[in-house]
Amino acid sequence: MPWQQQSWQRLVSRFPKIPHAILLSGMPGTGKRPFADQLAAWLLCLNRSPQQACGECPSCQWLKADTHPSLLRISPEVDNKGKVSQFIKIDQIRELMPFVQQTGKGWRVIIIEPAESLNIAAANALLKTLEEPGEQVTLILVSDQPLQLPATIRSRLQQYRVGEVSHQQALDYLNSRGSFSMEQSQLLLNISNGAPLAALDMAEQPAFLARQDWLNDWQKLLERRLSPVTLSGNWQKRLSLTEWLNLLQWMIRDAIATHLNQPVRQIDLNFTSVIKNINIEQLFNLQQQILSAIHGQTQNIQSSLVYDTLMMQLMNLHD
């Protein structure tokens, strides 16, 4: 990515004295994971150029097949019901030890993502690995929220902020990847907090494409032309709970901005009619409940109940 070139040059220019432990930080949707993958491929490549992996050697072919014996990825585990754990656990970190202690087999790379998911026990176990680095071993920690990592971990990592993107770089990236108008590009970047990869992904997301329909339905709900039960059933069929909660976040944020006569992010929508008789304090309260619902998805929460409860509250936002 263009905005990552400086960090890339700083890293590869140090070869073969690459840092033992690297922290790649930046906001979501700015290309931290592709950067980590690119660095891993370059380190493991048997025929690397000064700037990139060859893409053809046996090592590169193993990476393409996701079968490389010298690359270990650690992320929160997924159970047999498809539920993702909140944390990276100590047993996962203990798996590192035999891998790290191998000798004479070239570079070995470990990618830990998201690093802020390490629980306390896992972080303490990782600390031992950081204190006793093996030869030709590089740990790459990827994090949206590096300050959530224990200070003892952060102090042993060399941090590269690979997610710092200027507005013009983000616009140029979108324009090079899709046929967006200037207004569409601006809209996508507004909603994605200026993150170009997130913006590109968002363009095809059901929640993004459903925004005007939801605004119309919300208006009908406020005017009692649609019941919350009916609307809940309709949207449960249309969007997953995660998608719908994200959509609500965007809508409530811009409804508050309109109420305060501030610029909205969704520049293609008009919130004036919706907020006409809405109490702004209730909007702020609802915003907090939506955040709580988002965080509550990691627990055993009944999705239909969340839809029903929030629909009732969305209907009762009057002054």
> Domain spans of the chain?
2-161, 167-204, 207-315
Secondary structure (DSSP) of 49-101 = -SSS--S-SHHHHHHHTT--TTEEEE---B-TTSPBPSSB-HHHHHTHHHHHH
182-230: per-residue pLDDT in tens? 999 999 999 999 999 999 999 999 999 999 999 999 999 999 999 999 9
- Please enumerate in sequence order all residues whose Cβ is within 8 A of that of 230, keeping only pairs 6 or more positions apart, or say none: none
159-173: per-residue pLDDT in tens? 998 878 899 999 999
User: What Rg, from alpha-carbon coordinates, does the chain have?
Assistant: 23
126-137: per-residue pLDDT in tens? 988 888 777 888
234-287: per-residue pLDDT in tens? 999 999 999 999 999 999 999 999 999 999 999 999 999 888 888 889 899 999
Question: What are the φ and ψ backbone dihedral angles of 295, each rounded to 5 degrees?
Answer: -70, -30
- Separation of CA 207 from chain center: 16
Q: How far apart are CA 178 and CA 195, in angstroms?
A: 15
CATH class of the structural domain 2-161: alpha beta
39-58: per-residue pLDDT in tens? 999 999 999 998 899 999 99
pTM score? 0.82
Helix, strand, or coil here: 215? helix
Question: Dihedral of the CA atoms 278, 283, 286, 290 (nearest 10)?
Answer: 120
Q: How far apart are CA 74 and CA 89, in angstroms?
A: 10
